[in-house]
């Protein structure tokens, strides 16, 4: 039996390493690193630059919540715990990087989507583990 003095409090954790959680879900942001040697920007943490092979240093960059759909696909078959159909997309961020994501807030029908569609990021708790830790994922929905 676990000693209550050594038990840890459940945490809220990002589901991917390039999501930085804020005090509220509205403050959550994607982040990346910029190589200070060649100025190349990446999503998420980096140890090496793929462009100039530098080991850095890297400067952290926080991204905004706006984006634009570059490419999308409607997925009709998924694992049992994922509701299908859903929209998988690559979204370009104004900072010059792209992220893989899902598009929510619209029916997954081709007539509802278009290349270049403006979208906005949001986050939500999507799962919980057996220790009670919650996991936050990011998604995008059409911008108003």
Mind listing the pLDDT tens digit for each residue in 43-55? 999 999 999 999 9
Q: Is residue 7 part of a domain?
A: no
- What is the domain count for the chain? 1
pLDDT in tens, 111-137: 999 999 999 999 999 999 999 999 999
Task: Write the pLDDT tens digit of every residue in 78-92.
Answer: 988 888 999 999 999
Please report whether residue 32 resides in a domain: yes
Q: What is the average pLDDT value for the chain, to the nearest integer?
A: 94
SS3 letters across the chain: CCCCCCCCCCCEEECCCCEECCCCHHHCEEEEEEECCCCCEEECCCCCCCCCCCCCCEEEEECCCEEEEEEEEEECCCCCCCCCCEEEEEEECCCCCEEEEEECCCCCCHHHCCCCCEEEEEEEEEEECCCCCEEEEEEEEECC
Looking at the domain assignment, is residue 6 inside a domain? no
Domain membership flag for residue 22: yes
Residue 117, domain member (yes or no)? yes
| Residue-number span of the structural domain to which 126 is assigned | 12-142
Residue 1 lies in a domain: no
Residue 21 is assigned to a structural domain of this protein? yes
């Amino acid at each position: 039996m676990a000693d209550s003095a050594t038990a840890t409090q459940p945490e809220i954790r990002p589901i991917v390493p390039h999501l930085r959680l804020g005090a509220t879900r509205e403050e959550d942001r994607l982040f990346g690193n910029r190589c200070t040697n060649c100025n190349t920007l990446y999503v998420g943490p980096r140890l090496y630059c793929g462009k100039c092979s530098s080991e850095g240093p890297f400067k952290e960059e926080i991204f905004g919540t706006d984006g634009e759909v570059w490419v999308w696909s409607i997925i009709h078959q998924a694992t049992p715990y994922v509701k299908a159909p859903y929209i998988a997309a690559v979204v370009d961020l104004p900072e010059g990087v792209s992220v893989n994501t899902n598009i929510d807030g619209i029916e997954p029908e081709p007539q509802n989507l278009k290349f270049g569609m403006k979208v906005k990021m949001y986050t939500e708790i999507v799962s919980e583990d057996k220790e009670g830790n919650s996991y936050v994922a990011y998604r995008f929905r059409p911008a108003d």
